[in-house]
Structure 1
Amino acid sequence: MRKIVIPGGAGYLGRSLSDYFVGLGYRVVVLSRGAESRWNDVKIVPWDGQTLGTWVHEIDGADAVVNMAGRSVNCRYTVKNRQAIYESRLYSTRVLGEAIRSVQQPPKVWINSSSATIYRHALDRPMDELMGDIGTGFSVDVCRQWEHTLLTSYTPYTRKVAMRTAIVLGRGSGGAMTPLLNIARLGLGGKMGSGTQFVSWLHLEDFVRSVQWLIDHEELDGAINAAAPNPCTNADFMRVLRFVCSQPIGMPSQRWMLEIGAFVLRTETELLLKSRRVVPTRLVASGFTFNYPYVYDALRNIVRE
Structure 2
Amino acid sequence: IYAHRYDAANDEWSGALGGKESNAPSSWRFSIEVARAWERAFDDAVKTATRKVTLRSAMTLSPDAGGVFDTLIGLVRRGLGGSAGNGRQFMSWIHYEDFVAAVQWLIERHDVDGVVNIASPNPLPNAEFMRVLREAYGVPFGLPASDWMLEIGAAFMRTETELVLKSRRVVPARLLENGFTFKFSSWDKAAAEWKRSRQIRRSAA
Relative to the length of structure 1, the TM-score reads 0.61
- Whole-Å separation in 1 of the counterparts to 2:145 and 2:196: 26
Pick the structure with greater CA Rg.
Answer: 1
Q: Does residue 71 of structure 2 align to residue 188 of structure 1?
A: no
- Whole-Å separation in 2 of the counterparts to 1:239 and 1:174: 22
Query: Structure 1 residue 171: deviation in Å?
Result: 1.3
2:166 is aligned, of 257, 274, 278, to: 274
Query: Structure 1 residue 152: deviation in Å?
Result: 1.1
Aligned counterpart, 1:225: 117
Aligned residues: 188
- Whole-Å separation in 1 of the counterparts to 2:68 and 2:111: 31
Q: Does residue 125 of structure 2 align to residue 125 of structure 1?
A: no
Aligned counterpart, 1:135: 18
Query: Which amino acid in structure 1 is aligned with residue 5 of structure 2?
Result: A
Q: Does residue 69 of structure 2 align to residue 177 of structure 1?
A: yes
Q: Does residue 33 of structure 2 align to residue 150 of structure 1?
A: no
Point out where structure 2 has 5 or more consecutive residues left out of the alignment. 20-28, 198-205
Query: Which amino acid in structure 1 is aligned with residue 11 of structure 2?
Result: D
1:289 is aligned, of 176, 181, 189, to: 181
Structure with greater contact order relative to length (CA < 8 Å, sep ≥ 6): 2
- Whole-Å separation in 2 of the counterparts to 1:226 and 1:301: 20
SS, match of residue 140 in structure 1: helix
Over the residues paired in the alignment, what is the CA RMSD in angstroms?
A: 0.8
- Whole-Å separation in 2 of the counterparts to 1:295 and 1:243: 12
Map residues 75-94 of structure 1 onto 2, 5 A cutoff.
Answer: none
- Whole-Å separation in 2 of the counterparts to 1:126 and 1:249: 29
Return the structure number with greater strand share: 1
Deviations 1:241-265 (A, max 9, x none): 1111111120000010000011111
* Equivalent residues of 1:244, 1:304 under 8 A apart: no
Point out where structure 1 has 5 or more consecutive residues left out of the alignment. 1-117
Query: Structure 1 residue 169: deviation in Å?
Result: 1.0
Relative to the length of structure 2, the TM-score reads 0.90
SS, match of residue 104 in structure 2: helix
Aligned counterpart, 1:49: none
SS, match of residue 17 in structure 2: coil
Query: Structure 1 residue 174: deviation in Å?
Result: 3.2
* Equivalent residues of 1:151, 1:222 under 8 A apart: no
Map residues 233-248 of structure 1 onto 2, 5 A cutoff.
Answer: 233-248=125-140
- Whole-Å separation in 1 of the counterparts to 2:54 and 2:192: 30
Deviations 1:229-283 (A, max 9, x none): 0100000000001111111120000010000011111111000000000000001
Aligned counterpart, 2:22: none
- Whole-Å separation in 2 of the counterparts to 1:222 and 1:122: 23
Query: Structure 1 residue 220: deviation in Å?
Result: 1.1
SS, match of residue 159 in structure 1: coil
* Equivalent residues of 1:198, 1:275 under 8 A apart: yes
Query: Structure 1 residue 219: deviation in Å?
Result: 1.1
Structure 1: 4+ residue segments shifted above 4 A: none
Return the structure number with greater helix share: 2
- Whole-Å separation in 2 of the counterparts to 1:175 and 1:163: 21
Query: Which amino acid in structure 1 is aligned with residue 94 of structure 2?
Result: L
Deviations 1:106-135 (A, max 9, x none): xxxxxxxxxxxx100010110000000000
